[in-house]
Amino acid sequence: AQSVTQLGSHVSVSEGALVLLRCNYSSSVPPYLFWYVQYPNQGLQLLLKYTTGATLVKGINGFEAEFKKSETSFHLTKPSAHMSDAAEYFCAVSARNSGTYKYIFGTGTRLKVLA
Amino acid sequence: EPEVTQTPSHQVTQMGQEVILRCVPISNHLYFYWYRQILGQKVEFLVSFYNNEISEKSEIFDDQFSVERPDGSNFTLKIRSTKLEDSAMYFCASNPGLVAGSPLHFGNGTRLTVT
């Protein structure tokens, strides 16, 4: 079975500061990991994904995440926050389950960027 | 870029009424999903659909819910007799299913308000 835990339902950073959103996963099989962003009144938009290979994954809008198997983590970072980064961020894990892929989402982290 | 489209964007209905939420997944995708998000809460899996049948469903997806792919393009979620607690944002998603680890593509959602 797969699960995802996002630490911190709300994170506030100053504009220009480092963004760090935490995600830990549990999976009985090699996982596929994703970060999605949700702006108000919109659907979820893919930021980045990890499947296999390089453990440091770069996504859109300057975000990146590192897959650390030993820590079962997939934290999302951005060196310098912009006001436009204010949104809700969801970590998700996927694994094959009886012929289909199941996607499990974390509870989300709302990022606030302070001027 | 192809998109998942959902209609209507907002649906208001009275308790006990039937509603049908409509989705047009990306045309060459093979796997279809419905998720819901109660205001301010996590994104919850409802059901996945492949090869014209349900491949998995959650505990939320009880007998009041059904899904259908009535033609080659639409994918619908029906709630037979709505309850107040069905008020939520409902997201349709699709996935090509051909490559392991491919991400879900989400629509912008339908906000269902049950009064």
**B17-60, pLDDT tens digit by residue?**
999 999 999 988 999 999 999 987 889 999 999 989 999 999 99
Of B55, B101, B109, the CB nearest to A100: B55
Which residue, A92, A94, A64, is CA-closest to A6? A92
Output DSSP code: residue A114.
E
pLDDT tens per residue, range B53-104? 999 999 999 999 999 998 878 999 999 999 999 999 999 999 987 677 889 9
Separation of alpha carbons B104 and A9, rounded Å: 23
> For chain B, which residues lie within 8 Å of any Cβ of chain A, measuring from their own Cβ?
4, 31, 33, 35, 41-45, 48, 50, 55-56, 91, 93, 95, 97, 100-101, 103-109
Neighbour count for residue A84 (Cβ, 10 Å): 9
Question: What pLDDT, on a 0 to 100 scale, did the predictor assign at position A98?
Answer: 67
**Best CA proximity match to A106, nearest among B71, B37, B81:** B37
Q: List the Cα angle A16/A42/A106 in 5-degree steps.
A: 75
Q: Please say if the pLDDT value at position A99 is more than 90.
A: no
**CA nearest to B92 within chain A:** A43
